[in-house]
Amino acid sequence: MPRLGGPIGTLTGALLLLLLSPSILAHEHHEQVSHEDAAKPIDTILLLHIFLQAGVWLFLFPVGMVLGITRSRWHVPLQSLGFALTVVGYFLGHGHGGRAFPNSVHGTFANLLLIPGGAQLALGIYLKLHIHEQSVRPYAVILHGVIGKLFPVLGWLQVVFGYSTLGGYCRGGHLGQCLAHYIMGSAFVGYGCVLAILLLVGEPWLRRKGRSPEWWDSWVITLWGIVNTFTEHHGGGWSMKDMQHTMLGVIWWAGGMLGIWLSRNNQRNVVPALIIILTGWSMSNHAQALMISTMVHSVFGYALMTAGITRIIEVCFLANTITHNAEPISEGDSSSEHTLADSSTSSPVPRWLAFRHLPPFLLVTAGFLFMSATDEELHLAHDNGLDHVTYVLMCISCAFIVYLSVLVLIHLYTATGRHSTKGAQDADIEMSSTGRPRWYNRLPNNDSSTTRNGQPAHVIGDDD
């Protein structure tokens, strides 16, 4: 058994601190906080807590997760640092002065995070011991990976909870609207992030599953629509917004089922993009009490509609154009993989591939705009003299930062650990033996009669 030094010692120390922190810190929260205490300024300690925890949970842990997937030697040191900083942030969150906060979901969830945090640390220490190799260890590896991949989601939730607690939002009669905006907005942000992963590095997974991207989109849209259809009306008379939101749910499950049908045999289709456009159009026409609210909802709708339009262009036009313009590699070249950075290939990747970033980035932008469009947030902006242009630019700035973070994580996935021998590829599109970007090859349609030079035509996944 190895001694408890180095990474294992660090993990053990962080685990003990994490498990003992609830008993060490008896920070008292009250259900009722006076107006004077709630209006006090934010002190330096609380600011440190905010920036430290946001940095750890939104960036440091996701980076460590990616390094764990690629089996990088930096995974354990980075995650150990993350857990240590989390404990520091936990102390800071319970030791600040100035503004006081009532009991909140942010504080409750902080304590709940001790469970996956402690489990992950314990599993990390166990795996470092390299025992029970043929019995327990394989299951521990799986569980360690599952919990680690949940960390970015848990971190996002806690940051959103912290934001609402800091602003004093989502209490009393505002809870329903907060849930609607934060859940839907987060869903669009997540949709954009997942779409970026699929477009840039997710094709091997798509080939293994044998499903087109729109098949997965359509299933999520269908299930979301079913839930939305029966949760938007809460009794009493039907308001105009109730009817609009309910009909959006109907549109989603009806169109989603059509998308599932059209996606059979790995076919691509535009139904998910059409649903995004219709959702954006309806949201852009929602009547609001304040002018700033009307304008922010309009820009949110325009962002969604543009995301849908760019997705249609990618599916219907851009793929075929790139495929037709890609030149085959020379016959003497036996390499089956080429990247954008590979200057030795005779088949340069068309510059139009940069277009692939538009749909996911616009979805992330739409998500931030919708999360920032609650009545409480917009009333606060209005009371402080902010116009809709400044407010929208602030939201788009956040979208730029988040999308940059996603691209950095994708880059690390392609350039670290077991992938480091390929060099830094900046998430470049893989090239098939025909010299064409694999993502833009047509998906199989069970038509074996299509040939090229007497041979069956190449489709995605034909030369791994």
Nearest by Cα to 4 from 226, 389, 161, 12: 12
DSSP string spanning 207-233? HHHT--HHHHHHHHHHHHHHHHHTTS-
pLDDT (tens digit, 9 = 90+) per residue, 155-198?
A: 999 999 999 998 889 988 888 889 889 999 999 999 999 999 98
C-alpha neighbours within 13 Å on the C-beta side of residue 49 = 22
Are 396 and 366 contacting, i.e. CB atoms less than 8 angstroms apart? no
Three-class DSSP category at 260: helix
Question: Where exactly are the structural domains of the chain?
Answer: 1-168, 173-464
Label residue 232 exposed, middle or buried (CB < 10 Å: 0-12, 13-18, 19+): buried
| pLDDT above 70 for 139 | yes
Task: Tell how strand 451-452 and strand 455-456 pair up.
Answer: antiparallel
Mean pLDDT, rounded, for 275-281: 94
Mean pLDDT, rounded, for 128-136: 91
Are 461 and 342 contacting, i.e. CB atoms less than 8 angstroms apart? no
| Average pLDDT along the chain | 79
Nearest by Cα to 106 from 161, 163, 159: 161
Quick one: pLDDT band at residue 12, thresholds 50, 70, 90? Answer: very low
Higher pLDDT, 111 or 331: 111
Beta bridge partners of 174: none
Torsion of CA 222, 364, 339, 267, to 10 degrees: 20
Higher pLDDT, 94 or 371: 371
| pLDDT above 80 for 289 | no
Report the distance separating Cα 9 and Cα 214, nearest Å: 47
Quick one: pLDDT band at residue 422, thresholds 50, 70, 90? Answer: low
The CA-CA-CA angle for residues 172, 175, 180, to 5°, reads 165
Label residue 449 exposed, middle or buried (CB < 10 Å: 0-12, 13-18, 19+): exposed
CA 333 from chain centre, in angstroms, equals 38
| pLDDT above 80 for 356 | yes
Are 400 and 439 contacting, i.e. CB atoms less than 8 angstroms apart? no
H or E segment at 116? Answer: helix 114-129
Are 444 and 265 contacting, i.e. CB atoms less than 8 angstroms apart? yes
Report the distance separating Cα 374 and Cα 434, nearest Å: 50
| pLDDT above 60 for 104 | yes
Residue 42 φ/ψ region, left for φ over 0, alpha for ψ in the -120 to 50 degree band, beta for the rest? beta
Give residue 428's pLDDT. 44
Give residue 28's pLDDT. 45
Report the distance separating Cα 173 and Cα 156, nearest Å: 24
Are 7 and 79 contacting, i.e. CB atoms less than 8 angstroms apart? no
